[in-house]
């Protein structure tokens, strides 16, 4: 009961108060019955082992361990909430780092202590939910929080993925934005939400969208199904119909096996035979040499225009 009441964890003081001697506690730790979550905070070994295969549940234990050591109500938020909701993010979160929001009216302030980033902001009832036994911001609130505090690119990655997985929708996002009106950086969050698109199917595709936008490229159609005289050839990541040009974001999964690589080459050949220009880019291309990617797409526009 003690562990369940605290989201699966308990402090040394709580266990001693419940009648467990410190000597008995040390034996339970040595035997592996109890495992340390954070200093002075423990969870049952079977709970920790079950959580090991689920990043969200592992993080929830970390949040519970932070919560049990404070007298104020903390809600898992920002990057921590994104992990708990299984949302894709641009940047990797350092191991052992958690983000929480403390209810209050000094919106936007944050501090870091012992791997805990604490934000201060109002958390209305409709902005929080229970996950893995701890309170966590909803998907819509999580997207808006990250869009306010992260750079535009990182915000779009999370927003695109949340919409693509249908874990939120534009109506829910708009409601949160309206309820956060006047908060710091909420204008930036509105820009992220307005730009987001559920058709982006990966982090790499979202990055490509932002880079194209920042280089003032005409917005492409996403996930367009194209073909030629023999029928449908396939679905493409980006398509500019006015230029008959396609761009493909080449994530690792596209070429995991030789057969997949050959299949992609054959599909490109069929698309070119049907009169389309095809440009490919990788993660390294778009992150480190975006101007080359844009130049290749513009060159494809020019070739298509000459052929026309």
Contacts 24+ apart (CB under 8 A), 160-165: 160/196, 160/197, 160/198, 160/200, 160/205, 160/206, 160/209, 161/87, 161/88, 161/200, 161/203, 161/206, 162/85, 162/87, 163/196, 163/197, 163/198, 164/198, 164/199, 164/200, 164/201, 165/86, 165/87
Least confident residue range of 162-166, 198-202, 261-265, 273-277: 261-265
**How far apart, in whole angstroms, are the C-alpha atoms of residue 157 and residue 79?**
12
- Strands (E) across the chain are located at 10-11, 34-38, 41-44, 74-76, 98-102, 110-113, 116-120, 128-131, 134-137, 221-228, 231-240, 245-249, 277-281
Span 223-245, pLDDT tens digits = 999 976 677 888 999 999 999 99
Domains of the chain, earliest start first: 54-195 (3.30.460), 203-307 (3.40.960.10)
Biggest alpha carbon–alpha carbon distance for the chain: 84
18, containing H or E segment:
none
Distance separating alpha carbons of residues 271 and 247, to the nearest angstrom:
12
CA geometry: angle 274, 279, 282, nearest 5 deg? 140
Listed ranges 31-40, 66-75, 189-198, 263-272; the one with the highest mean pLDDT: 189-198
In this prediction, residue 106 carries a pLDDT of 44
Full-model pTM: 0.91
Other beta carbons less than 10 A from residue 13's beta carbon: 11
pLDDT at 233 (0 to 100): 84
pLDDT tens, position by position, 56-69: 999 999 999 999 98
Quick check: 258 pLDDT over 90? no
**Residue-level pLDDT at 5:** 86
Of the pLDDT bands very low, low, confident and very high (cuts 50, 70, 90), residue 252 is: low
Helix (H, G, I), strand (E, B) or coil at 258: helix
Instruction: Quickly state the pLDDT bin for 101 (edges 50, 70, 90).
Output: very high
pLDDT of residue 256: 59
Could you read off the pLDDT of 279-304 as tens digits, one per residue? Answer: 999 999 999 999 999 999 999 999 98
> Quick one: pLDDT at residue 202?
97
* Model pLDDT, residue 277: 96
């Amino acid at each position: 009961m003690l562990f369940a009441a605290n989201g699966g964890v308990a402090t040394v003081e709580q266990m001693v108060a419940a009648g467990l001697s410190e000597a008995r506690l040390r034996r339970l730790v040595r035997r592996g019955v109890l495992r340390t979550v954070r200093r002075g905070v423990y969870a049952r070994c079977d709970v920790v082992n079950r959580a090991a295969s689920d990043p969200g549940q592992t993080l929830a234990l970390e949040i519970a361990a932070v919560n049990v050591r404070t007298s104020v109500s903390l809600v898992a938020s920002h990057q921590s909430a994104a992990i708990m909701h299984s949302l894709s993010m641009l940047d990797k979160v350092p191991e052992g780092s958690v983000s929480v929001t403390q209810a209050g009216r000094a919106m936007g302030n944050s501090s870091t202590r012992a791997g805990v980033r604490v934000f201060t902001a109002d958390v209305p009832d409709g902005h929080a939910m229970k996950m893995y036994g701890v309170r966590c911001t909803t998907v819509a609130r999580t997207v808006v929080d990250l869009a306010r505090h992260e750079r535009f690119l990182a915000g779009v990655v999370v927003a695109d993925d949340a919409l693509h997985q249908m874990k939120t929708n534009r109506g829910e996002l708009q409601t949160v934005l309206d309820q956060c009106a006047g908060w710091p950086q909420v204008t930036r969050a509105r820009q992220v939400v307005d730009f987001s698109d559920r058709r982006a199917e990966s982090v790499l595709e979202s990055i490509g969208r932002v880079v194209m936008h920042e280089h003032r490229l005409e917005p492409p159609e996403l996930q367009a199904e194209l073909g030629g005289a023999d029928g449908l050839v396939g679905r493409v990541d980006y398509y500019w119909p006015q230029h008959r040009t396609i761009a493909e974001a080449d994530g690792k999964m596209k070429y995991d096996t030789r057969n997949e690589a050959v299949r992609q080459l054959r599909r490109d050949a069929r698309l070119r035979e049907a009169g389309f220009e095809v440009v490919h880019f990788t993660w390294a291309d778009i992150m480190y040499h975006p101007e080359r990617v844009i130049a290749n797409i513009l060159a494809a526009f020019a070739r298509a225009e000459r052929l026309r």
